[in-house]
Amino acid sequence: MKKHSDIDSSRLPRHPATGEPLTPRRTPGYYPGFSTLSQNPFWDDATRRVVTKRLEPPQPLKLFSAEEFEFWTAVFAHLIPQNDRTVERQIPLVAPLDHRLHMNQTVGYRFETMPQDRDAYRLGREALNEEARQQHESDFLSLSYRQQDLVLKTIHDGEPHAAKEIWSRMSVHRFWQLMMGDAIDAYYAHPWAWDEIGFGGPAYPRAYTRLERGEPEPWEVEEKRYEWGSPEDAVSDEVQSAAHVHTEAEQHKWNKKL
């Protein structure tokens, strides 16, 4: 297992005034000392089983090869960086994706500009490697963290330089949304992420009571914000909003360009 001393300090968030890397925490975020799991005595048995099961180690891979798992682990480490967390408290992101694709589970619909999700991830891996070779003359996994960030930025921005044939078969914007959706679903389904955002967890059968003014419940804690800057090896400060490209009009416009 990787230790804190093995973490590259250039990938840690920075103190905005000094520029020094911030030490990883067991529970990052603005709610120090909060633990959703401390409330599990107030849940019913079914809820308790569902939530605590998410703390179990990931199941063995069912669909991804070891190489594919390594690839998507590297990609998802950019989509939702967890270097602000201590290693033992980092949340598995790719294992839930492997399970979802193995079970062929979907959200119940598929955009006409997208293939089946399994095929989308297979093609996406090929496209990201082509983009990496176009920009940096090497496969994605061989690149530095910042170079990988730059490759992913072209997908985020909807401006890939390579893999035109692949992007003619599926929407680059929809693929970015697919990856982000899977990363977000895996991360924020985990109770450790709930601690980070101060989410009180399932309130059944107890229920929430303070609904009027946004005040914390008696078992929650007050928000305590702190300032931080992006890691020096990340390009997140350089990324512009791409919200406009996710409208249907922009999707059709981009598809016609291909």
Whether residues 100 and 50 share a domain: the answer is: no
- Judged by DSSP in three states, 43 sits in strand
Whether residues 249 and 131 share a domain: the answer is: yes
- pLDDT attached to residue 250: 62
Interatomic CA distance for residues 96 and 56, integer angstroms: 12
Interatomic CA distance for residues 173 and 150, integer angstroms: 16
Interatomic CA distance for residues 48 and 54, integer angstroms: 10
Q: Taking the CB of residue 96, how many other CB atoms lie within 10 A of it?
A: 20
Interatomic CA distance for residues 207 and 191, integer angstroms: 18
Whether residues 122 and 237 share a domain: the answer is: yes
Contact between residue 163 and residue 129 where contact means Cβ atoms under 8 Å apart:
no
Whether residues 212 and 154 share a domain: the answer is: no
2 found inside a domain? no
Contact between residue 140 and residue 195 where contact means Cβ atoms under 8 Å apart:
no
5 found inside a domain? no
Q: Which residues of 196-234 are buried (b: 16+ CB within 10 A; e: fewer)?
A: bebebbbeeeeeeeeeeeeeeeeebbeeeeeeebebebb
- How many structural domains comprise the chain? 2
- Judged by DSSP in three states, 196 sits in helix
Whether residues 132 and 74 share a domain: the answer is: yes
- pLDDT attached to residue 78: 96
**Which residues does the chain have with pLDDT short of 70?**
1-6, 237-258
Q: What percent of the chain has pLDDT over 90?
A: 70
Interatomic CA distance for residues 108 and 148, integer angstroms: 32
Q: Taking the CB of residue 12, how many other CB atoms lie within 10 A of it?
A: 21
What is the domain extent for residue 97? 64-189+229-258
Residue 175's nearest CA partner among 231, 59, 257, 254 is 254
Whether residues 81 and 105 share a domain: the answer is: yes
10 found inside a domain? no
- pLDDT attached to residue 256: 59
9 found inside a domain? no
Whether residues 247 and 124 share a domain: the answer is: yes
- pLDDT attached to residue 241: 60
177 found inside a domain? yes
